Every structure is written in structure tokens, then in C-alpha cells.
Amino acid sequence: MNVLSLFDGMSCGQIALNKLGIKYDNYFASEIDKHAVKVAKHNYPNMIHIGDVTKVDPEDLPKIDLLIGGSPCQGFSFAGKQLNFEDPRSKLFFEFVRLLKECKPKYFLLENNRMRSEYKNVITDLLDICPIEINSALVSAQNRKRLYWTNIPYIKQPNDKEIYLQSILEKGNAHRKKSKCVRVGGRGSNDRHEWDIATTDGRRYTPIECERLQTVPDNYTDCVSNTQRYKMLGNGWTVDVICHIFKNMTF
């Protein structure tokens, strides 16, 4: 199996594949952020980075079986300026559409923020499939609602694992009385990554705690500065949501 991941970031899709034990021959990643590339390569030295998505040519690649991506969402988000498809960052979504048409993979997955219905409908029409909205709270200790467009079959809501803040705090920090029944992220925070800067008992969440919120392995991002760790974790996927979706693939 060959995977093409667009806007790969720190390669959360690859974490999910490995967590599920899904074997792949090649993992091609399009990403231009040098810090995210460093983290991904540090953890997966055999992956193949292919740079700018606008320059990706399927003729240079083998047959792609799985195409995944979470295109930049600042132009779509309720929390953003809602510049929709005229925002240069959101225009990158059309690169996903282009490569979906050119690669013709067996499966695809596109993730994005919740957005105004007119934007969502455009994406739905172009991908010819309706999204499913999943809140990361079902599989992690954070409220984080996202839309997932995928042709992977039989995707339903995950069972609630009932994971709360208390379980992700590092040793010595798990003393907040209410944390046994609290999830990170309140009203409006789902689209703004507020947990990046949030505090518990007057302190900032540690990078490891943020990794746990995203169900990323502890210290996965520790080869870059904490500033970059917070940034890429805020922009990344909740891995266990992706696992929930990927587990229905068959090859």
C-alpha cells in the first residue's frame, strides 16, 4: 500500500496507521514546515517528504492507495475571518481535489474545521460525499469537533472512552479536584486550539499533556522547541479519531 499525505504536518496519519498495525510500502508526505518535517522524520526516518503540495505530480509517484490530508483551515473556521475559498490558505484545498482526481486512490480522507454550511456544501459537492462530524472528546480528554470527508465505509461515532483531564496530567500535576470529570476546551474552543495556552491550576499544559490530548505518543514532538511543539500539536489531528476511521479500511 502506498500513502500520500498532503499537509502532513507531524504525520499524525502515520501514527494512526502504525498504531493499528496497518502495513504500507511507502508513505509520501507533502509538507513545507521545517519543524513539522523534523518531527515526522525523527519518528519515521523511512518516510518520503516531497515538499510543496502545488508541485506534487502523481506521475512521479507509484499508484496511491490512500490519500489523506487536513488542508489549512483558517479561511473556513468559525473562529477565523471566514474568508472561505478566497483565502490563499484555503485555496490549498483544491490541491487535495486535484490530486484526488489524478491519483484515484482506493480511499481518501479530508479533515477540516466546522464551518459555515455554504462552505461545507462546496467541499461536499466536490468530493461527492458528506462529512461526518466527530468530537475528539469521545476518544480523548478534549472537546474538539471536526469534519471528516471520507469514502472509507461504515464510519459511525466512536464509543465514548470517558477519558478526562485527570488521566492526561503529568505526575505531580493531577491534583485538580474537578479534573476527574473535566475535558479541555469549553464553548467556542473547538476551533481555536485554546488548550495550547490554557492553564490548569494556574499553569500552562505541558507539551506531553498536549500530546496526550491529541492521543499522540509521549515525547513524540520533543526534538523541537516547546513553541513549535504547541503549534504543531494544535494544528494536528487527534490520532485516535483517525484510528477509528482507518480501522474500516481493507486492502
DSSP state of 170: P
Q: Per DSSP, which regions of the chain are E strands?
A: 2-6, 26-30, 48-49, 66-69, 107-113, 132-135, 145-150, 199-200, 203-204
Q: What residues are annotated to the active site?
A: 73
What's the CA gap between 15 and 215, in Å, rounded? 10
Question: For residue 24, what is its C-alpha cell?
Answer: 504500507
Over 26-41, what HEC string results? EEEEECCCHHHHHHHH
What's the CA gap between 137 and 145, in Å, rounded? 8
Q: How many CA atoms lie within 13 A of 132 on its CB side?
A: 17
Question: For residue 171, what is its C-alpha cell?
Answer: 505526575
Closest by CA position to 192, among listed 146, 158, 139: 146
What's the CA gap between 161 and 138, in Å, rounded? 6
**Helix, strand or coil, per DSSP, at residue 67:** strand
